[in-house]
Amino acid sequence: MRITCAACAARANTREPAAFARGIEEVRLFVTLIRHYPALSALLLGAAAACGFAPLQLWVLTLTCFAGWMWLVHDAPTWKAALWRGWVFGVGHFTINDNWFQHAFDFQDKMPPVLGYVAPLALALYLAVYPMVAAGIAWRWRARRIDLAWVLLFAAAWIATEWVRSWMFTGYAWDPLGVVWVPVQPAAMLARWVGTYGLSGLTVLLAGLLLVGGRRRLGPAIAGLTVVLLLIAQAFSYRDTAPPLTPTTPRVVVVQPNVAQDERGESDGEMMLRRLSALSGRPGSAPRLVVWPEGVVRDFIEDDYPFWVYGDRSPYLIRERMAALLGPRDLLLTGGTALTFDGKGDITAGYNSVFAVTPDARLAARYDKAHLVPYGEYLPMPWLLKPLGLARLVPGDFDFLPGPGPRTLDTPGFGAIGTQLCYEIIFSGQVVDPANRPRLLFNPSNDAWFGSWGPPQHLAQARMRAIEEGLPVVRATPNGISAVIAADGTLLATVPHLRAGAIEAGLPPPADPTLFARAGNLMAGIVALVLVAAALVLRRRAR
């Protein structure tokens, strides 16, 4: 036995130098490729960095790719070259990250589905402007060598450009960089202080620290990593759990009927209502908040519309069917559509809404979606785009109107409930009515046209809102992923993608308002200013 082990060790010792040499040679080849083909390298690094988001969640790869991209930006020979490397990085990054966008075109009659394969790239060509600007700002402040001050300035520039992306041209805040930390909850909890955009800047800082350490400047790298780890340890001091179920514990019932996008027309008849009703359970001794998704109930349930709108489906009788599922202390929240009419009784526009239905078949409250999806719920510049053959991605004959903004519904029996319809939940700092803080956020969504990557990415962003605001989030979708999320972002229960099912869980309690809940995205601005100030101090000391 000893001879065999010694022989194995001897063989291993002869293999190790060869393996190490091969590894060194591969690293050298990688560095050579980056130096000789910087634009192509930036494109590939951006594409690979997108794999840190759901569903792959390879956040270590994202950090590595950002470090490599920052190196390329620093070593660009001119400012225009730095801008170019920033832009192609963004093209690769956003094309891969938004690949789910293609699936929306599979349900269009007015536009060919082949356009869906062009749409993610076309969107990426615009979104890539923001990392391009961040790269250009960082290059202007570079030193001869990559130092900690330059990394701090790069992180501040990323915060600024990512925040601008969230509101420029109505905003496209999908998957800010900080969302990669959702599966690493200790790091994600930093968003309770600085918000998602501030966390994105700290992520760029961490990638830069890896780059500084890789250049054998270990002192600044170790000091920076120590500060980050201390912040993470402090942020993780709060943990939440689901309340234990007792006979009197208020419950939330989340219904997911597993309705594909091309099946939604069934809701004009009995089949959809029966499917929803079968999954909604029955009243018990505890009060229940029953929630249905967006985009499934297609019947109009408000009164006083012209008779021809309803067809043979009475709104009162439909509400009675819903109310029959409820006990005396229950409440139903469901997505639906509200209409507006002109003086002739013709439909002028609609609202994407949430209705609260009581046990006596009344509509107790209504929320109208404020942050509409361009090209989804309305067509910008219709005078130009309609003649070109372009149409909205969501089927329908009229555009939607925006509601007044984040509003808290005062619901009977359950008190203050905030509502964010679908896409609205992705906008950090814009999901809660500051004058009336709710006990939870209800996020009905139609993710049925989001492909396979969109639903897990949407869920991750809803979890970030829970962490930022210290509020539980309840998501109901037609075919997944529905979830009950605790106030610290923990998934308490889910219904997986492409499955029918329902969740019955104790109503999660809210946490105390977080620092971010009190100050909003001002915290991201403060982080950016602190990073810039620290960079200037370091540069002055270096001189």
Phi-psi region of 168 (alpha: psi -120 to 50; beta: other; left: phi over 0): beta
* Cβ 72 vs Cβ 34: under 8 Å: yes
pLDDT for 503 beyond 90 = yes
Residue 95 CB partners (closer than 8 Å, separation 6+): 47, 120, 121, 124
> What pLDDT score does 31 carry?
65
Question: What is the number of helices (H) and of strands (E) in the chain?
Answer: 17, 12
- What confidence category does residue 28 fall into, taking pLDDT thresholds of 50, 70 and 90? low
Q: Residue 194 carries which side chain, given as an amino acid letter?
A: V
d(CA 446, CA 459): 12
Question: Is residue 3 scored above 50 in pLDDT?
Answer: no
pLDDT value at 362 more than 60: yes
End-to-end CA distance of the chain: 64
The arithmetic mean of pLDDT across residues 219-229, rounded, is: 58
Q: Residue 438: is its pLDDT beyond 60?
A: yes
Which pLDDT score is estimated for 279? 96
CB crowding 207-227: b at 16 or more within 10 Å, else e: bbbbbbbeeebeebbeebbee
Q: Taking a C-beta distance cutoff of 8 angstroms, is the pair 446, 294 a contact?
A: yes
Overall average pLDDT of the 505-511 stretch = 93
Give residue 19's pLDDT: 54
Report the 10 Å Cβ neighbour count for 111: 16
Split at pLDDT 50, 70, 90, the class of 7 is very low
Checking if the pLDDT of 238 tops 60, the result is no
User: Strand pairing partners for 288?
Assistant: 251
The two tokens of residue 327 are 């006990």
Output the CA angle 347-348-351, nearest 5 degrees.
Answer: 95
pLDDT at 14: 45
Q: CA nearest 130: which of 170, 169, 97, 90? A: 90
pLDDT at 27: 54
Report, as an integer, the average pLDDT of 498-509: 94
Q: How confident is the model at residue 260 (pLDDT cuts 50, 70, 90)?
A: confident
Is the CB of residue 349 less than 8 Å from the CB of residue 400?
yes
Query: Under DSSP, is residue 274 helix (H, G, I), strand (E, B) or coil?
Result: helix
CA distances from residue 493 to 223, 240, 242, 357 in whole angstroms, order as listed: 39, 14, 9, 24
Return the SS3 of 476: strand
Both structure tokens of 334: 């469901």
Are 511 and 328 spatial neighbours (Cβ–Cβ below 8 Å)?
Answer: no
* 295 CB-near residues (< 8 Å, 6+ apart): 264, 335, 446, 448, 478
| DSSP notation for 35-99 | HH-HHHHHHHHHHHHGGGSTTT--HHHHHHHHHHHHHHHHT-SSHHHHHHHHHHHHHHHHHHHTG
pLDDT for 109 equals 58
pLDDT at 380: 61
**Amino acid, res. 423:** Y
pLDDT for residue 199: 96
Two tokens, residue 114? 């082949």
Is residue 457 over pLDDT 90?
yes
Residue 219 has pLDDT above 60, yes or no: no
Question: Which of 427, 513, 416 lies closest to 464, judged by CA?
Answer: 427
pLDDT over 90 at 527, yes or no: yes
Position 443, amino acid: N
Position 184 confidence tier, pLDDT thresholds 50, 70, 90: confident
Residue 427 has pLDDT above 50, yes or no: yes
> What is the predicted pLDDT for the residue at 6?
42
| Contact yes or no for 142/157 (Cβ under 8 A) | no
Residue 188's pLDDT band, with cuts at 50, 70 and 90, is very high
pLDDT band for position 542 (50/70/90)? confident
For residues 297 and 216, the model is more confident at: 297
* Integer Cα distance of 27 and 34 in angstroms: 11
pLDDT at 216: 57
Lowest mean pLDDT among 97-111, 195-209, 311-325, 394-408: 97-111
Summarize pLDDT for 89-145 with one digit per residue, the tens.
999 999 999 998 877 776 665 666 677 678 889 999 999 999 999 999 999 999 888
Note the maximum CA span of the chain.
98
Over 80: is that where the pLDDT of 195 sits? yes
pLDDT of 521 above 70: yes
Q: What percent of the chain has pLDDT over 70?
A: 80
Q: How confident is the model at residue 267 (pLDDT cuts 50, 70, 90)?
A: very low
Spatial separation of the C-alpha atoms in residues 52 and 93, rounded to whole Å: 11
pLDDT at 295: 86
**What is the average per-residue pLDDT within 171-191?**
93
| 343 pLDDT tier (thresholds 50, 70, 90) | confident
- Choose the weakest-confidence range: 185-199, 209-223, 427-441: 209-223
Residue 287 has pLDDT above 70, yes or no: yes
The 3 state secondary structure assigned to 315-374 is: HHHHHHHHHCCCCCCCEEEEEEEEEEECCCCCEEEEEEEEEEECCCCCEEEEEECCCCCE
Confidence grade of residue 9 (pLDDT, cut at 50, 70, 90): very low
* 257 φ/ψ angles, rounded to the nearest 5 degrees: -80, -5
Mean pLDDT of 320-339: 96
pLDDT in tens, 171-180: 999 999 999 9
pLDDT band at 182 (very low <50, low <70, confident <90, very high): very high
Nearest to 448 by CA among 300, 259, 265, 291: 259
pLDDT of residue 226: 60
Backbone angles phi, psi at 234, to 5 degrees: -70, -40
Please provide the DSSP assignment of 375-410 as one string: TTTB-SSHHHHTTTT---SS--SSPBPP-SSS-EEE
Q: In 3D, which of 506, 520, 421 has the Cα closest to residue 469?
A: 520
pTM: 0.88
**Does 445 score more than 70 pLDDT?**
yes
The 10s digit of each residue's pLDDT in 528-538 is 999 999 999 99
- pLDDT band at residue 70, thresholds of 50, 70 and 90? very high
**54-67: pLDDT as tens digits:** 999 999 999 999 99
| Secondary structure of 124-170 in HEC code, one letter for each residue | HHHHCHHHHHHHHHHHHCCCCCCCHHHHHHHHHHHHHHHHHHCCHHH
Mean pLDDT of 415-431: 96
Rg (CA), the chain: 26
192-197 average pLDDT score: 96
Q: What is the mean pLDDT of the chain?
A: 86
